[in-house]
Amino acid sequence: MIDALQTATTGMTRATDRLGKAAETIAASGAPVGDTALPPAAQVDLTSAAADLVGSKSAFALNAAVARTADRMMGQLLDISA
């Protein structure tokens, strides 16, 4: 059970890191401070960053579900043994 919680926690941490990197990529593609001109669309590839956002959201949600399930199972095991 503890391994499942550790694995889920590690997965959520990695998903959060991946989300942060994707957000940095998207933010860096914007206009510099004080400049209203955006770079041409041909120079900005946001498709991979958007895919990373969606993927990291799904990965976090799946790992959170694993953590909830492991927690529920541990609770039931403790109830049985008590």
Confidence class of residue 14 from pLDDT cuts 50, 70 and 90?
very high
Reported pTM: 0.75
Residue 6 CB neighbour total at 10 angstroms: 12
Output the pLDDT for position 24. Answer: 86
Which is it for the CA torsion 72, 73, 74, 79, positive or negative? positive
Rounded CA separation 44/61 (Å): 29
Residue 42 has pLDDT above 60, yes or no: no
Mean pLDDT of 26-50: 69
Inter-residue contact 12 to 63 (CB < 8 Å): yes
The rounded radius of gyration (Å) of the Cα atoms in the chain is 19
Statement: residue 35 has pLDDT above 90: no
Residue type present at position 23: A
DSSP class of residue 36 equals: -
